[in-house]
Amino acid sequence: MEGRQLRPIYDALELPDTKYAEEECEKLLRKHPNHYGAQSIKAFILARSGRPNEALLLGQSVLNTPSAMASAHVQQGLSLAFRALGRPREEIMVYTAALSFSPNDESLHIKVFKTAARNSMFKEQHHAAIQLSKLSKQQKYVWWLVVSLFLQAKHSKDDVAAPVQLKLAERLVEKAVADGQLTSTEELRVYLDVLDIQDKHEQMTEVMADNSQLAAMISNDPDLVTQRINLFIKVGDYDKAIMAATAALESRDNWADYKLYIEAVATLVGQAVDAEAKHSLVAGISSNFEKWAGVRGKARGAKLAQVALATRMHEAGHGDIAGSPEALIWDYLTEFQQKAICYSDIMQFIVARREPSVLEYHQAQLEQRLPAARDSATNSDDAAQAWVNLEKIRYLLQALMGETDPKAWVADIEPLLKFGLGSSQARKKQPSCSDMAFIASQRIIQAAFLAYSAADQREQLHSALFKALCVLESGIQLNDNSFLLKLYAIRVYLYLSCYERAQTIYDTLRIKHVQLDTLGHLIIGHGMALGCFALDMELCYNGVTFYDRFQSKMPRDIEAVYQQGTYSNVQDFLEFQSNIVHSIQRECTHRYALRGEGFEYGNAKETLARWEEADVSSIEHSEQTLSALHDNRDVSVMGLLTPKDMAQWDLELLTQSTPIPGHDFIRAFSLVPQVMHYLVCADIESLQEKLSELTLVVDNSSCRLSRQDVLFVRGIIDVGSLYIQASDPQNEIDGQLSRLLSVIRTNLPSNELDPSLFSLSSDGIRNLSAATELFTYMLALKHALLAQRLPAANAVGLALSQLRKEALKSVNTLRGWVDKNTRALVEEQWLAENDDDIFADAKRFVVGSQKQTTSMVTKACTTSWLRSVKNLLSQWEKCSS
């Protein structure tokens, strides 16, 4: 009967038509107000319709009615409701209540287990697993219990309970082994994890011994083979580690195994008493490497291992006992320099020893080989790649030797440009040509930052970066697949305040799904800084959608792991889930989305409603939650040719137009909506509290907000303070109001002076954008004062109206100026002939042989600036007070 009554609601939900389903619910509840089935489904519908508070209240009231919980319909409706609300505790309470009626219902216990597992509720998971293993003899529940015990112990702060749980887990597994119930490598990995967390490494070696009953499983699993070698090292059995590594490397070529082999030998060498013993150990490993170096498919790994061994011996103070690392590096290069991977292989070993004598040795070797490599580059792909690798080494050596003369960085750049962009191979899209174009662009960028590092030289810096941009774009035009060229093009365009073209290039990278978390930082937020809010908002929404979908879908993958018995994935999936759900980029993307919404124009009613209804509690962060965030952002994609510890040569760092947002950004832009919310709600006490917190953020000497974000945030603090002042009609507000308006005025384009190309490409658009954004918030202040019938509303309204008129005039003038003048100015200032120009060769090349691209880049810059200014003008036009 209950099912029949609920059928229309289920049918509506299947359509899916949530609104109709709710209507059917209401219809049924009008007839039967105490129909708990309808109430529970209504709770689910409310949750899905974005009315969480109502849903929660209704759901909890049904949950607190014990007699209601006997119904399967109520159980289903409520569990779905609480799952949609993200309330796993309540969801488990639904199943627990249901179990009071059917204590032996295995499916209910499984539901409890899976809910707990999805939500990392390890204690509840553990209890559910115990119930399941008592109810059913299925072996999988034993493993569920083992994994639950392991996770509970691992994440527990209880030093007393954790060891007991692990011991129990260990006993359960030992019983499974004895009963022949450990049948998969997944289960074996769980066993090893349980032992590992207890530091029972000796026992692990017994489990993984050659003669153990699980040996066959181990030898078939390459990861377990490597783990075994590592284990021997951990327990100090280096001889066994060496034997295991040797055996593994006879049949495969894994770098992880080479590293462990070298580590074991290095430790024994360190422990050896006399020179003979040391030499004998080294001779043994070296002879193996030489043997493997002669085997097809293993030569590269073995040769590189020789370099690694020699370097390691040097680091440990054993000199050239395994050969001269430098000589071996060049032996390796001689044999493999035609491989694209060569540079990334060998770089760390060159970097490992930076003594002048060593660098000079490398320099001498390079100078011997480079001319011939350059001359023969056109002979074949391999020859070209060899030259590319040598050029990368040349770049690295210059940095390691601390070369600060910018001319030295761009000397001999012409052959690189000619080959990378002007050769027949380049026209055939040969990958080494893209690499060469990349190296050339890096040299120009590096030289630019070295030459023009002073504040009064930024104009020349921009001119030099423009030339780098021409090289990058030329490379992209020739080969659209070059990821690195595009990344740096995006960076340099943003540095020159050209958002539109940067975003167009970003689109071609096809960054999507989880890459939004690792690479989204390249572009998200930059649009807002440069007046292109709408484009940026779209990217933000894509990001927010990804994160929301991930949060809802990932738990099912965790369930699947238990269902499939792939237990070693549990930790991995939980960690992955945590990394994405609690990622810095996620928080930043949300903050940017909120910021963009705050900037959207609305009339007074819409604006006030937006701030009043803003969910400010969910965006609050404590120091604890901030420090628990994961930074998954990947800056290594920028493909640095120098080590990350050399800041002066770190082009990833140097080309950042604004600091990559972090904790300060999250703090500040969590507080800004809260300030506005309390302002609009006239909650002065809370407003003062938030203003104090916001002041602390920007006043902190290590604050890593951009200049414009600091300007904006200080402006918001002033807006809040002005409101507090104005909330008492007795107070005088003129002074404060003038100061606030003056901040905005200062950052508007000047009506008197012609803007300069430099002001446009540096802070001009950014400052204007911040000022425009601040004005929008001041409008919200005015609307709030008016709504609250405070007398200051008139004065503020008049002042804003006047300011708006001025802004419209000056921004419109700027728009006209950008439209008419910037193209000619770029050609005049950034591409004109100048004998003193360090970048004369590069300029001559791009102007001479890359005319079309140079013209395209000029147009891209001017169009981007124009787009930004037009967007901002449009914003001012919309913002009538």
- Pick the closest to residue 24 from 35, 8, 37 (CA basis): 8
Which one among 405, 572, 615, 699 touches another protein, defined by CB under 8 A?
572
Q: How far is the CB of 285 from another protein (least distance, A)?
A: 17
Scanning residues 633 to 692, which ones bind another protein (CB under 8 A)? 634, 636
> Among residues 636 and 692, whose Cβ is nearest to another protein?
636
Alpha helices in 252-274 (DSSP H): 255-271
Q: Please identify which residue in the block is written with the tokens 């011994």.
A: 209
> Among residues 8 and 222, whose Cβ is nearest to another protein?
222
> Among residues 2 and 382, whose Cβ is nearest to another protein?
382
> Among residues 255 and 541, whose Cβ is nearest to another protein?
255
Distance CA 388, CA 382 (A): 10
Q: Does 317 bind another protein (CB under 8 A)?
A: no
Contacts of 187 by beta carbon, 8 Å cutoff, 6+ apart = 143, 173, 176, 565, 567
Query: How far from chain centre, in Å, is Cα 398?
Result: 31
Distance CA 305, CA 184 (A): 33
Distance CA 592, CA 609 (A): 20
Q: How far is the CB of 560 from another protein (least distance, A)?
A: 4
Q: Does 511 bind another protein (CB under 8 A)?
A: yes
Answer yes or no: are the C-beta atoms of 831 and 843 closer than 8 Å. Answer: yes
> Among residues 510 and 789, whose Cβ is nearest to another protein?
510
Distance CA 139, CA 15 (A): 40
Distance CA 86, CA 616 (A): 18
- Pick the closest to residue 596 from 804, 875, 864 (CA basis): 875
Tokens of 243: 């034997």
Scanning residues 245 to 264, which ones bind another protein (CB under 8 A)? 253-256, 258
Q: Does 560 bind another protein (CB under 8 A)?
A: yes
- Amino acid letter, 301: G
Which one among 5, 267, 404, 579 touches another protein, defined by CB under 8 A?
579
- The alpha-carbon radius of gyration of the chain (Å, integer) is 33
Q: Please identify which residue in the block is written with the tokens 């004065």.
A: 795
User: Which window, 97-105, 438-446, 571-579, 841-849, contacts another protein (CB under 8 A)?
Assistant: 571-579
Packing angle, helices 381-400 and 342-352, rounded to 10:
20
Which one among 226, 286, 311, 446 touches another protein, defined by CB under 8 A?
226
Q: Does 155 bind another protein (CB under 8 A)?
A: no
Distance CA 407, CA 427 (A): 29
- Pick the closest to residue 438 from 393, 392, 403 (CA basis): 392
Tokens of 61: 């009231």
> Among residues 193 and 345, whose Cβ is nearest to another protein?
345
Scanning residues 278 to 297, which ones bind another protein (CB under 8 A)? 297
Backbone angles phi, psi at 583, to 5 degrees: -100, 150
Q: How far is the CB of 257 from another protein (least distance, A)?
A: 8
Which one among 75, 76, 119, 185 touches another protein, defined by CB under 8 A?
185
Distance CA 292, CA 302 (A): 6
Q: Does 568 bind another protein (CB under 8 A)?
A: yes
Distance CA 637, CA 61 (A): 52
Answer yes or no: are the C-beta atoms of 785 and 728 closer than 8 Å. Answer: no
> Among residues 91 and 345, whose Cβ is nearest to another protein?
345
Q: Does 564 bind another protein (CB under 8 A)?
A: yes
Site track 778-817 with another protein (rule: CB under 8 A), x = hit: ----------------------------------------
Dihedral, CA of residue 808, residue 811, residue 816 and residue 820, to nearest 10: 180
Q: Does 481 bind another protein (CB under 8 A)?
A: yes
Q: How far is the CB of 341 from another protein (least distance, A)?
A: 5
CA angle 461, 467, 470 (to 5 degrees): 145
Residue 505 Cα distances to 119, 473, 494, 880, angstroms: 39, 10, 11, 35
Answer yes or no: are the C-beta atoms of 861 and 496 closer than 8 Å. Answer: yes
Q: How far is the CB of 251 from another protein (least distance, A)?
A: 11
Based on the number of CB atoms within 10 Å of its own CB, is 752 exposed (0-12), middle (13-18) or buried (19 or more)?
A: exposed
Residue 279 Cα distances to 238, 306, 326, 520, 716, angstroms: 16, 15, 20, 52, 70
Scanning residues 42 to 61, which ones bind another protein (CB under 8 A)? none
User: Which window, 88-96, 562-570, 588-596, 796-804, contacts another protein (CB under 8 A)?
Assistant: 562-570
Which one among 300, 418, 458, 582 touches another protein, defined by CB under 8 A?
300
Scanning residues 540 to 559, which ones bind another protein (CB under 8 A)? 550, 553-554, 557
> Among residues 407 and 549, whose Cβ is nearest to another protein?
549
Which one among 89, 513, 707, 820 touches another protein, defined by CB under 8 A?
513
> Among residues 297 and 317, whose Cβ is nearest to another protein?
297
> Among residues 70 and 509, whose Cβ is nearest to another protein?
509
Which one among 163, 222, 659, 662 touches another protein, defined by CB under 8 A?
222
* # residues contacting another protein (CB under 8 A): 53
Which one among 504, 515, 788, 874 touches another protein, defined by CB under 8 A?
515
Tokens of 224: 């377990």
> Among residues 390 and 872, whose Cβ is nearest to another protein?
390
Distance CA 202, CA 215 (A): 16
Query: How far from chain centre, in Å, is Cα 856?
Result: 31
Backbone angles phi, psi at 17, to 5 degrees: -135, 90
> Among residues 523 and 799, whose Cβ is nearest to another protein?
523
Which one among 221, 412, 597, 819 touches another protein, defined by CB under 8 A?
221
Q: How far is the CB of 636 from another protein (least distance, A)?
A: 7
Backbone angles phi, psi at 874, to 5 degrees: -60, -40
User: Which window, 127-135, 338-346, 351-359, 655-663, contacts another protein (CB under 8 A)?
Assistant: 338-346
- Pick the closest to residue 422 from 465, 382, 470 (CA basis): 470
> Among residues 518 and 727, whose Cβ is nearest to another protein?
518
Site track 412-431 with another protein (rule: CB under 8 A), x = hit: -------------------x
Q: Does 378 bind another protein (CB under 8 A)?
A: no
User: Which window, 12-20, 320-328, 467-475, 628-636, contacts another protein (CB under 8 A)?
Assistant: 628-636
Q: How far is the CB of 214 from another protein (least distance, A)?
A: 14
Q: Does 213 bind another protein (CB under 8 A)?
A: no
- Pick the closest to residue 780 from 612, 607, 615 (CA basis): 607
Q: Does 597 bind another protein (CB under 8 A)?
A: no
Contacts of 226 by beta carbon, 8 Å cutoff, 6+ apart = 248, 254, 256, 257, 260
User: Which window, 178-186, 263-271, 485-493, 852-860, contacts another protein (CB under 8 A)?
Assistant: 178-186
Q: Does 372 bind another protein (CB under 8 A)?
A: no
* Residues near another protein, by CB under 8 A: 184-186, 220-223, 226, 253-256, 258, 297, 300-301, 304, 308, 339-341, 344-345, 348, 431, 481, 483, 510-515, 517-518, 550, 553-554, 557, 560-561, 564, 566, 568-569, 572-573, 575-576, 579, 632, 634, 636
